[in-house]
Amino acid sequence: MPNFLSAVVVGAVVALMPTAPSGPETSLRLSVTHPGSSTSGSRTVTLRCDPAGGEHPEAARACLELNGSGGRFEHRPDGRMCTAVHAPVVARAEGRWKGRPARFKAEYGNDCVMLSRTGTVFAF
């Protein structure tokens, strides 16, 4: 009986030990700014992956897109038709992707152009 009790206690202690993260951390601070606009201002969210979380409204999809691109924030346009309205927008990312430092900054002609080049990552 003492051996059984020892095994139960050891098992309980092991179960309560914190587990190691599943892989290198992905934690990003994303922002979208409309320079010169008094109405749109800027928006900032956090995005965490593995597991997906943070304040990003579509964190799981944004993480999936980042993983699929090897951590690149920008890609070829997705084919959507955007107007030629000039309403500059700046997309920024800073933090860690898969444990490595990540930084990104790009300016686009308007929100539609930005989304066509960055997908869900900056869709918030």
Task: Please list the pLDDT of the chain residue by residue as tens digits (124 residues).
Answer: 555 444 444 444 444 444 444 578 999 999 999 997 766 689 999 999 999 999 999 999 999 999 999 999 999 889 999 999 999 999 999 999 999 999 999 999 999 999 999 999 999 9
- 53-54 and 42-49: which strand pairing? antiparallel
Burial 69-82 (b: 16+ CB within 10 A, else e): eeeebbeeeeeeee
Q: How many CB atoms lie within 10 A of CB 19?
A: 5
Q: Which structural domain range is residue 64 located in?
A: 27-118
Tokens of residue 83, six digits: 């107007």
Helix (H, G, I), strand (E, B) or coil at 123: coil
Residue 91: inside a domain = yes
Looking at the structure of the chain, the number of domains it has is: 1
Residue 8: inside a domain = no
Whether the CB-CB separation of 73 and 66 falls below 8 Å is answered with yes
